[in-house]
């Protein structure tokens, strides 16, 4: 097997295994979604595969979990997070990964809560209604912080993916890109 194929198989396996975490019980919004997008953007040599592989893994896990009405907003935020990863993680460092993870948490929050507000009968279709929706989104689930869980999940899974892959590259030379 060629080095590029080994890297692709390793990266795809990491992405699929991480996406499957969504199937085990976890805190609300503590998921690997943003980390998968960032990791895909930063690590796959063929950037389009870095979008398709995590997107397909998410779609597979969503098919098992079940779809819901705001899936479009989740996938839009995933795509925007992937674009963020392309731009911010051309040379990943721990600091850049942490900042991109935090930014992706905010992006996810803004996009998905905008989708809740837009066309909703719960909130007036005004700027004040949007702000009320965002405020409600900060403490959405049983009094726990839905947003904070998202931030912690994004940081945890980004650390797990990027850190784990870094350690694998240190151990197995074949995983290092030819240009590195």
Of residues 101 and 31, the one with the higher pLDDT is 101
Of residues 27 and 142, the one with the higher pLDDT is 27
Residue extents of the structural domains in the chain: 3-173
- Tell me if 118 sits within 8 A of 75, measured CB to CB: no
Q: What is the mean pLDDT of residues 85-92?
A: 94
Look over the chain and give the mean of its residue pLDDT values, rounded to a whole number: 88
Q: What is the mean pLDDT of residues 114-143?
A: 86
Q: What was the pLDDT predicted at 148?
A: 81
pLDDT tens column, 60-84: 888 888 888 888 998 999 999 999 9
Q: What was the pLDDT predicted at 180?
A: 47
Q: What is the mean pLDDT of residues 161-175?
A: 93
**DSSP secondary structure of 118-176:** TT-SSS-SSHHHHHHHHHHHHT-BTTB-HHHHHHHHHHHHHHHHHHHHHHHHHH-GGGS
Q: What is the mean pLDDT of residues 121-141?
A: 87
52 Cβ contact list (under 8 Å, min separation 6): none
Q: Which of 66-70, 122-126, 139-143 has the lowest mean pLDDT?
A: 139-143
Does residue 28 register a pLDDT over 90?
no
Q: What is the mean pLDDT of residues 26-48?
A: 89
The answer to pTM > 0.75 is: yes
49 exposed, middle or buried (CB, 10 Å; 0-12, 13-18, 19+)?
middle
Q: What was the pLDDT predicted at 144?
A: 61
Does residue 113 register a pLDDT over 80?
yes
Q: What was the pLDDT predicted at 80?
A: 96
Phi and psi at residue 144, in whole multiples of 5°? -90, 165
Q: What was the pLDDT predicted at 146?
A: 67
């Amino acid at each position: 097997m060629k080095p590029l194929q080994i890297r692709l198989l390793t990266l795809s396996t990491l992405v699929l295994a991480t996406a499957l975490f969504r199937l085990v019980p976890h805190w609300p919004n503590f998921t690997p979604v943003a980390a998968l997008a960032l990791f895909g953007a930063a690590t796959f040599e063929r950037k389009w595969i870095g979008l398709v592989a995590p997107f397909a893994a998410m779609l597979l896990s969503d098919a098992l979990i079940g779809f819901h009405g705001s899936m479009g907003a989740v996938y839009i935020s995933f795509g925007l997070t992937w674009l963020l990863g392309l731009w911010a993680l051309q040379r990943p460092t721990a600091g850049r990964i942490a900042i991109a993870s935090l930014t992706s948490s905010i992006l996810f929050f803004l996009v998905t809560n905008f989708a809740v507000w837009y066309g909703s009968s719960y909130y007036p279709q005004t700027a004040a209604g949007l702000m009320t929706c965002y405020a409600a989104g900060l403490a959405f689930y049983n009094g726990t912080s839905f947003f904070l869980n998202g931030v912690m999940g994004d940081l945890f899974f980004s650390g797990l993916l990027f850190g784990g892959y870094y350690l694998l590259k240190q151990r197995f030379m074949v995983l290092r890109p030819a240009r590195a």
